[in-house]
């Protein structure tokens, strides 16, 4: 009974947020195609030992993704049985992080990102509903809401924005039947640092000035 009430409450929350504060420029990304993979940076999990537990963050030295639930590292085919296959996902045997203790998890991004995505599959061999909210601070930018099969059914949850960079992503198993989940292939596109933007602007200005001088000299 409690499970049913909680599931209903989570569903109502999801429905309520779908109509409030969703930015018009949020674009869900349905498949890990070349446009997506070439425009994002993959956080490689290879530096984490197989079987490592108590993982609360991953990083590539630029972006750090923090978790509010402890994760365990493995590879599909070892301590996590199945995934999905391309083109639905990037690989059928990726390195994954998994947990089997919670129906929700928040991922915090150290660097605001205009694109963020990952693949996800539930622990139980059932079709589970997952609602993933992409947040800027306390504001919902957009969401992806998908039914995911716990057997060979992993799917990407990814999105992009041009106006409201993501600072966190919240995963919720709204059907409350997945008994935890695994994630893989975390990707992001970071908002450029102000210094990088300034350097780019200076470079463009220098190129423009050089072109102007060349044209002026040619006209004499």
User: Would you kindly state where each structural domain of the chain is located, as residue ranges?
Assistant: 2-192
- pLDDT, tens digit, 9 for 90 and up, residues 130-171: 999 999 999 999 999 999 999 999 999 999 999 999 999 999
CATH 1.10.287 fits 2-192, yes or no: no
- CA–CA distance from 94 to each of 23, 132, 147 (Å)? 32, 21, 20
- pLDDT, tens digit, 9 for 90 and up, residues 72-116: 999 999 999 999 999 999 999 999 999 999 999 999 999 999 999
**What stretch of H or E contains 199?**
helix 194-219
- How many CB atoms are located within 10 Å of the residue 136 CB? 18
- How many CB atoms are located within 10 Å of the residue 92 CB? 15
- Total length of the chain: 220
Distance of alpha carbon 155 from alpha carbon 23, whole angstroms: 23
Place of tokens 């947040």: 135
The encoded tokens of residue 149 equal 């099969």
The partner residues of 113 in beta bridges, in order of sequence, read: 166, 190
What pLDDT is attached to residue 192?
A: 80
pLDDT range class, residue 64, cuts 50, 70, 90: very high
Question: Considering the entire predicted model, what is its pTM?
Answer: 0.80
Distance of alpha carbon 35 from alpha carbon 40, whole angstroms: 9
Higher pLDDT, 131 or 219: 131
Residue range 179-207: mean pLDDT, rounded: 69
What pLDDT is attached to residue 149?
A: 98
Strands 181-190 and 127-136: unpaired
What pLDDT is attached to residue 26?
A: 96
- pLDDT, tens digit, 9 for 90 and up, residues 3-14: 444 444 454 444
């Amino acid at each position: 009974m409690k499970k049913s009430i909680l599931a209903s409450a989570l569903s109502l929350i999801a429905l309520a947020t779908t109509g409030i504060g969703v930015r018009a420029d949020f674009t869900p990304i349905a498949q890990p195609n070349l446009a997506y993979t070439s425009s994002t940076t993959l956080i490689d999990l290879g530096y984490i030992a197989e079987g490592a537990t108590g993982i609360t963050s991953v990083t590539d030295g630029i972006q750090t993704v923090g978790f509010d639930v402890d994760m365990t590292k493995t590879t599909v085919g070892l301590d996590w049985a199945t995934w999905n296959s391309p083109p639905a996902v990037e690989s059928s045997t990726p390195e994954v992080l998994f947990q089997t203790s919670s129906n929700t998890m928040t991922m915090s991004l150290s660097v605001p990102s205009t694109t963020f995505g990952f693949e996800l599959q539930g622990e139980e061999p059932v079709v589970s509903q997952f609602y993933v909210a992409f947040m800027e601070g306390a504001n919902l930018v957009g969401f992806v809401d998908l039914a995911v099969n716990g057997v060979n059914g992993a799917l990407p949850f990814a999105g992009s924005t041009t106006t409201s960079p993501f600072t966190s992503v919240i995963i919720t198993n709204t059907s409350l039947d997945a008994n935890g989940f695994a994630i893989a292939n975390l990707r992001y596109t970071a908002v450029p640092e102000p210094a990088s933007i300034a350097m780019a602007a200076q470079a463009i200005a220098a190129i423009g000035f050089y072109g102007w001088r060349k044209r002026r000299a040619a006209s004499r």
